[in-house]
Amino acid sequence: MLSYDTLGCREKWALLQRRCAREAGTMPTKTIIEPFRIKTVEPIRQTTRAERHRLLEGAGYNLFLIPSADILIDLLTDSGTGAMSTEQWAAMMRGDESYAGSPSFERFRDAVQSIFGFGHVIPTHQGRAAERILFNVMCKKGDVVPNNTHFDTTRANCEFVGAEAVDLPIPEAREPGMVHPFKGNLDTQGLEELIARVGAKRIPLCMLTVTNNSGGGQPVSMANIRAVKEVCARHNIPLYIDACRFAENAYFIKLREPGYETKTPREIAGEMFRHADGCTMSAKKDGLANIGGFLCTNDDLLAQQQKDLLILTEGFPTYGGLAGRDLEAIAVGLNEALEEDYLNYRIVSTAYLGNHIAKQGVPIVQPPGGHAIYINARAFLPQVPPAEFPGVALAGELYVEGGIRSVEIGTLMFGEHATMDLVRLAVPRRVYTQSHIDYVIEVILEVWKRRSEIRGLALAYQAPFLRHFTAKFRRKADKPVGEAREREKQAR
């Protein structure tokens, strides 16, 4: 079969042009029609610029520390922030809250197995709980775990057990402005070299994150999944997929990879997971649920060890830290996430935001990702060096300008591992309308106009791990006083 990864450079470019033109052709020129109507509304509150200034300073320039009531448009994350459908709410009423063996678990397990196809389905309260169990059971100190790009919780959980998390994105992924249809691909040559350098025995598993969140929400091609599996199989290394945005990844394959045009997202997802030995999943993304996750494997022995650990910290294997009603919501959500009307709206509306700001010169990771737009903060604020956190500074300005909450993915989140400083605008599923997004575009363009005035920040406090959640900053020009000075001393 013709596969993207076997094409030459010029052929790839021509193919990409045709694919992008076709994608753009599905994009309405004026109005995006959301494939739903609104039954319940949730008011959002305007604040004044002076209030936002005060709130930002009070939060030490960390948007995680601002109450959501003071946010107008919340693009902090697409995780657990989506709106549920009438079918999901209806299913929740059927939730059976029995401690053991509830039919809600059976519906959840069947829904997961019908899409992902793995023998064991272990529910967890969210994605990182699945990661913690996976790494605890499979890894030990001195091990090495490759991934296209580890998400922050994946890296932290891997390092917590003493293993080394290694990112192996393709070289194109390190160029934010470069257009490539599958920029989430893992560098198979790099994987071979890593195996040759450290030895397969030190690599208990290889991971592949679809779509690659930290790398710009970029998809992984089926050809790449197949190639990674081929390398892993040759060295007897199990392949696990971080499946958070599997449906968006499947739709990108349908749009961009030759041979998949007529397949359904469900068929494509099935093929993706047939190449893997297991997966971790946060159902807060393409499970269209507000909480939940799961861990899957085909290995009976590992599954037993994972379930034992699950009982210790999450709960009995038929609920894993979730209520029966949560299991029901996920069972319905996983299927809704694979509907083509939904996926088309999802991909097109995210690209709408990215294309509109890029057209005005705002540097973004190209092409637009599935769940988010990533502004290249180093290029947006060339006067702010990475050590002064350009992403945090830019995110703060978007809040002051228009009450928009975004998140830095860069030097704050990844420290020395950061190769880019990005501001992620993650779009919650089925929540905001086109007019909300038009407003976001206007705010970004206002900040773009006054970009030369924006200054960097200095770290005043940081936690020993996952520091981005609670870190505090001060403006470069401000002198630390009192408590802030104390915190800064601790941070050093």
Ligand X SMILES: Cc1ncc(COP(=O)(O)O)c(C=O)c1O
Residues that bind ligand X (CB under 6 A): 79, 126-128, 151, 153-154, 209, 213, 242, 244, 282, 284, 293
**To the nearest whole angstrom, how small is the minimum distance from the Cβ of residue 218 to ligand X?**
12
Nearer to ligand X, 59 or 322 (CB): 322
Q: Quick one: which of 444, 434, 297 has its CA closest to 359?
A: 444
Q: Looking at 200-241, list the stretches that DSSP marks H as alpha helix, in order from N- to C-terminal side.
A: 222-234
Q: Are 413 and 468 in contact (CB under 8 A)?
A: yes
Nearer to ligand X, 128 or 474 (CB): 128
Nearer to ligand X, 88 or 126 (CB): 126
Q: Quick one: which of 428, 491, 425 has its CA closest to 462?
A: 491
Q: Which pair of structure tokens corresponds to residue 212?
A: 């690659």
**To the nearest whole angstrom, how small is the minimum distance from the Cβ of residue 464 to ligand X?**
19
**Look-up of token digits 């104390």:** 486
**To the nearest whole angstrom, how small is the minimum distance from the Cβ of residue 278 to ligand X?**
14
Nearer to ligand X, 151 or 389 (CB): 151
- Decide the pairing of beta strands 239-242 and 120-124: unpaired
Q: Are 398 and 440 in contact (CB under 8 A)?
A: no
**To the nearest whole angstrom, how small is the minimum distance from the Cβ of residue 209 to ligand X?**
5
Q: Quick one: which of 368, 473, 376, 362 has its CA closest to 421?
A: 376
Nearer to ligand X, 151 or 240 (CB): 151
**To the nearest whole angstrom, how small is the minimum distance from the Cβ of residue 284 to ligand X?**
5
The rounded distance, in Å, linking the Cα atoms of 274 and 295 is 15
**To the nearest whole angstrom, how small is the minimum distance from the Cβ of residue 234 to ligand X?**
26
Sign of the torsion formed by the C-alpha atoms of 275, 280, 284 and 290: positive
Nearer to ligand X, 187 or 242 (CB): 242
Q: Quick one: which of 388, 401, 386, 387 has its CA closest to 451?
A: 401
Q: Looking at 117-151, list the stretches that DSSP marks H as alpha helix, in order from N- to C-terminal side.
A: 127-138
How distant is the alpha carbon of residue 157 from its chain centre?
Answer: 16
Name the residue with the smallest CB distance to ligand X: 127
- Decide the pairing of beta strands 120-124 and 206-209: unpaired
**To the nearest whole angstrom, how small is the minimum distance from the Cβ of residue 96 to ligand X?**
23
**To the nearest whole angstrom, how small is the minimum distance from the Cβ of residue 47 to ligand X?**
27
**To the nearest whole angstrom, how small is the minimum distance from the Cβ of residue 384 to ligand X?**
26
The rounded distance, in Å, linking the Cα atoms of 131 and 294 is 9
Nearer to ligand X, 358 or 420 (CB): 420
Cβ-in-10-Å burial (0-12, 13-18, 19+) of 47 comes to: middle
**Look-up of token digits 């107008």:** 72
The rounded distance, in Å, linking the Cα atoms of 76 and 403 is 12
Q: Are 105 and 327 in contact (CB under 8 A)?
A: yes
**To the nearest whole angstrom, how small is the minimum distance from the Cβ of residue 149 to ligand X?**
9
Nearer to ligand X, 284 or 378 (CB): 284
Residue 445: count other Cβ atoms within 10 Å of its Cβ. Answer: 15
Nearer to ligand X, 75 or 400 (CB): 75
Nearer to ligand X, 209 or 462 (CB): 209
